[in-house]
Chain A
Amino acid sequence: MKYAFYPGCSLTGSANEYDQTSRAVMAALDLPLNDLTDWNCCGATAAAVSDPDLTVALSARNLFLAEQAQADVAVACASCYTNLRRAREIVTGSTAAGTRVRSALAESGVAVTGASQVRHLLEIIVREIGLETVKAKVKKPLAGLKVVAYYGCQLGRPKGGAVHPDNPVELDELLAALGATVVDWNGRTKCCGGATMVTKESAAAELVDTILTYAEKGGADLIVTACPMCHLNLDAYQGRVNKLLHKTHRTPIVYFTQLMGIALGLDPKELGFEKAFISAVPVLVSHVEGVAK
């Protein structure tokens, strides 16, 4: 089955470099992304505060659109990924909530059969395209670059996701295939605080501080993520966290697709490195000629 790309709201705004590089990398891997037509927000973590049924219904409309297009859904945002796969399970299941949401959807002629699968880009690249294919396309190995793979929560949780909930390996393997030195660490699936960075700042700041500390103690040059929320909290809020907790962190955060872009030989100017608060360019310097520091 072909894929319909679900960018999600973050990729149209705060994570637009993830959008840009996801498209560029998938095209370079001969699986160019075409958007799911007229997609809507998955509900994020916010819609559930009004009503958890609303999150399921919002996500279900996207599944309905994908089924109409006879496509599986390819998702870049880890949070959208979880909402969409969770909605698919609930709305095709036999619980009272599933039945109730189905009846609400039916009023608008929306029905979900489960025909379309929900896949994260990381699993499409690692499991479907395969690491051997990726390796064969590497033009500029990331040799000498020390990285940690940061999965966050939503790729593997709740259970049944793209990776193991506590001991994921896929992003580590991908980064190793790109030639990077992948550092073992204890922060792979630690939560970044998500939206509580806005609503419960001091608590979320401690979570971010923990992740940054683990990565730095491991000797990583940078942290690699597959989630817009993780990127926002670790990068854009890093200065704020330093201020609140009197720390001096200065660790760049990059999307895995940005590093893939370098390794696959794409134009570094098109990889959005200038969008980050803490630039990765100084540590990438031997790999990204011509990009402003």
Chain B
Amino acid sequence: MIRPEEWRGPSDPQFALEVAAFPGAEKILSCMQCGVCSGSCPMAAHMPDSPRRIMAHILAGDRERALGSPSIWYCINCYTCASRCPMGISITDVMAALKSLAAPQVRNVSTAFYSAFAQSVVADGRAYEAGAALRAGLAMGPIKALGVAPVGLGLLRKGRLHLRRTRISGATQVGALARAVAARRALRRQSAKEAHHG
């Protein structure tokens, strides 16, 4: 729940419905704020807003607080909350929806890593781990990157990191699927905008 002094009215009354349109996020309106998600989350201790609070922001139509919270980038996709939610809400999938809605406005290590990874998958049909790790390393800054460098070098030395990309023969089909998905996303974004601005 949101404390009364925090309440500022819904900035975007349609926001919960926009989130509910994402795969797995359909049951979000059933949230009863019990907090089982927060109690189960292995990352809750690191999150400024617990998963339960994030759910409250969505249900309150507070788009800015939900998408602006650093907490969403701590979700690991472990699905512990999703398997325990008494209302059967896949909070993990709700977090994924929020990340994807927030990502275009966010520049951090998470978005650098994930977008490099996804780009290689869409282009080749296969993930290019070395490239994604390198992009994340650049986004981390030199000190942190130096700290994790031994891991990358170790993998390389043991023949566990490919420096060359692999492209499947169905890569063009994968690209077409990605474009068809993106076209539908653009339509939803447009109609959400229209609903918001009346």
Give A contacts to B, CB under 8 Å. Answer: 9-10, 12-16, 38-41, 43-58, 61, 82, 86, 90, 95-98, 100-101, 103-105, 107-108, 110, 153-154, 156-159, 165-166, 189-191, 193-196, 198-201, 203-204, 207, 236-237, 239-240, 243, 274-275, 277
20 A-B pairs within 8 Å (CB atoms) are namely A40-B171, A46-B115, A48-B100, A49-B96, A50-B100, A52-B23, A54-B182, A56-B23, A90-B23, A96-B21, A97-B21, A153-B77, A157-B79, A159-B83, A199-B110, A201-B148, A204-B76, A207-B42, A240-B147, A274-B158
| Residues of B contacting A110 in the complex (Cβ-Cβ under 8 angstroms) | 173, 177
B4 an interface residue at 8 Å Cβ cutoff?
Answer: no
With contact pairs A40-B168, A158-B83, A191-B42 given, residues A48 and B162 touching in the complex (Cβ less than 8 Å): no
B43 an interface residue at 8 Å Cβ cutoff?
Answer: yes
B35 an interface residue at 8 Å Cβ cutoff?
Answer: no
Is the CB–CB distance between A195 and B76 below 8 Å?
yes
Is the CB–CB distance between A108 and B177 below 8 Å?
yes
Interface string of B158-198 (1 = CB under 8 A from A): 11111000101111011011101111110000000000000
Question: Contact partner of A61 among B26, B78, B90, B173, CB < 8 A?
Answer: B173
| Residues of A contacting B185 in the complex (Cβ-Cβ under 8 angstroms) | 51, 53
Interface string of B88-116 (1 = CB under 8 A from A): 00101100110110010000111101110
A-B pairs with lowest CB-CB distance, top 3: A157-B79, A46-B117, A97-B23
B36 an interface residue at 8 Å Cβ cutoff?
Answer: no
Question: Contact partner of A39 among B80, B84, B168, CB < 8 A?
Answer: B168
Q: How far is the CA of A259 from the CA of B56 in the complex (A)?
A: 46
| Residues of B contacting A45 in the complex (Cβ-Cβ under 8 angstroms) | 76-77, 114
Residue ID in chain B nearest A275 by CB atoms = B158
Question: Contact partner of B76 among A101, A105, A191, A243, CB < 8 A?
Answer: A191
| Residues of A contacting B132 in the complex (Cβ-Cβ under 8 angstroms) | 46
Min C-beta distance of A117 to chain B, whole Å = 20
Residue ID in chain A nearest B147 by CB atoms = A240
Residue ID in chain B nearest A48 by CB atoms = B96
| Residues of A contacting B46 in the complex (Cβ-Cβ under 8 angstroms) | 200, 203
Is the CB–CB distance between A51 and B121 below 8 Å?
no
Question: Contact partner of B79 among A153, A193, A236, A239, CB < 8 A?
Answer: A153
Is the CB–CB distance between A58 and B177 below 8 Å?
yes
| Residues of A contacting B74 in the complex (Cβ-Cβ under 8 angstroms) | 196, 200, 203
Q: How far is the CA of A204 from the CA of B60 in the complex (A)?
A: 30
| Residues of B contacting A46 in the complex (Cβ-Cβ under 8 angstroms) | 113-115, 117-118, 121, 127, 132
Min C-beta distance of B134 to chain A, whole Å = 11
| Residues of B contacting A157 in the complex (Cβ-Cβ under 8 angstroms) | 78-80, 82-83
Q: How far is the CA of A273 from the CA of B169 in the complex (A)?
A: 33
Is the CB–CB distance between A49 and B100 below 8 Å?
yes
Q: How far is the CA of A194 from the CA of B159 in the complex (A)?
A: 21
Residue ID in chain B nearest A200 by CB atoms = B74
With contact pairs A190-B42, A240-B148 given, residues A275 and B160 touching in the complex (Cβ less than 8 Å): yes
Question: Contact partner of B174 among A15, A61, A190, A200, CB < 8 A?
Answer: A61
Min C-beta distance of B108 to chain A, whole Å = 8
Is the CB–CB distance between B117 and A199 below 8 Å?
no
Is the CB–CB distance between A53 and B83 below 8 Å?
no
Is the CB–CB distance between B76 and A108 below 8 Å?
no
Is the CB–CB distance between A165 and B76 below 8 Å?
no
Q: How far is the CA of A172 from the CA of B177 in the complex (A)?
A: 40
Most buried by A among B73, B111, B166, B170: B170
**Given contact pairs A49-B118, A97-B21, A103-B184, a sample of 11 additional A-B residue pairs in the complex whose CB atoms are under 8 Å apart:** A40-B171, A45-B77, A46-B132, A49-B103, A50-B103, A51-B182, A55-B23, A58-B177, A97-B23, A200-B46, A275-B160
Is the CB–CB distance between A158 and B82 below 8 Å?
yes
Is the CB–CB distance between B151 and A52 below 8 Å?
no
Residue ID in chain A nearest B170 by CB atoms = A38
Is the CB–CB distance between A47 and B121 below 8 Å?
yes
Q: How far is the CA of A275 from the CA of B154 in the complex (A)?
A: 9
Is the CB–CB distance between B77 and A194 below 8 Å?
yes
Residue ID in chain B nearest A157 by CB atoms = B79
With contact pairs A41-B126, A49-B111, A104-B184 given, residues A16 and B159 touching in the complex (Cβ less than 8 Å): yes
